[in-house]
Structure 1
């Protein structure tokens, strides 16, 4: 097993997914210190850990091990947005989500047979 290639593939897949390698290792169940063990000690992970990490990243174990080129995982199409969002404070993240929800409701289509809002008059009458 080429541990350097394995670590490189983990990092590339994580970048595509918009997640840090240590977070991916921890959340997948492979262990938060997996990358450290691979890089510093040259340890060879168990098959189970490789499978857990590959499943989490949405790639095959063969791709993660470098037997095949990694494909783009089934994660957000805009990982850069996810990275930026993750860098925000919890309060700012809540504000972003509120804005997204607001924009989503603005774009919902009218139900067939409903009365258009424009025909109801000014929603904010003076007074």
Structure 2
């Protein structure tokens, strides 16, 4: 694990969520000195703590560790979207999911229309 990349990703996903890294570490249960222990003491975090922090930030462990090759540069970061979605009421979440499904179907139809027709 590249500790510098890990810490950089913690800070990036915290910024996307709108929370300070020390607050995220404390609220996720990994401890407010988590980042300092990695940077200053060279401590290697446990799998459990990495999982707790990833869950809190709404990302995968792979994304947090910098191992996820599917990095999308289009649109807002996924942690932000997950964070905002989780703040919605259950009814609003249902509405969002219905819209997402509708858009997916529309995109599939558009892709099918773009494919060349064979006679």
TM-score, normalization by structure 2: 0.61
**What is the root-mean-square deviation in Å for CA atoms of aligned residues?**
1.6
- SS at 2:78's partner residue? coil
The residue that corresponds to 2:51 in the other structure is 51
Instruction: Please tell me whether Structure 1 or Structure 2 has the larger radius of gyration of its CA atoms.
Output: 1
The residue that corresponds to 2:78 in the other structure is 72
- SS at 1:76's partner residue? helix
Q: Matches of 2:63 and 2:10 in 1, distance apart?
A: 10
The residue that corresponds to 2:60 in the other structure is 60
Q: How far off is 1:60 after superposition? A: 0.4
Q: Is the 1:13–1:57 contact (alpha carbons within 8 Å) kept by the matching residues of 2?
A: yes
- SS at 2:83's partner residue? coil
Q: Matches of 1:32 and 1:57 in 2, distance apart?
A: 15
Q: Matches of 2:35 and 2:21 in 1, distance apart?
A: 7
Count of aligned positions: 77
TM-score, normalization by structure 1: 0.57
Q: Is the 1:37–1:43 contact (alpha carbons within 8 Å) kept by the matching residues of 2?
A: yes
Deviation above 3 Å: which 4+ runs of structure 1? none
Deviation track 1:14-34 (CA, whole Å, cap 9, x = no partner) reads 000000000000000011100
Deviation track 1:85-106 (CA, whole Å, cap 9, x = no partner) reads xxxxxxxxxxxxxxxxxxxxxx
Aligned ranges for residues 17-96 of structure 1 at < 5 Å? 17-68=17-68, 69=71, 71-73=77-79, 74-76=82-84
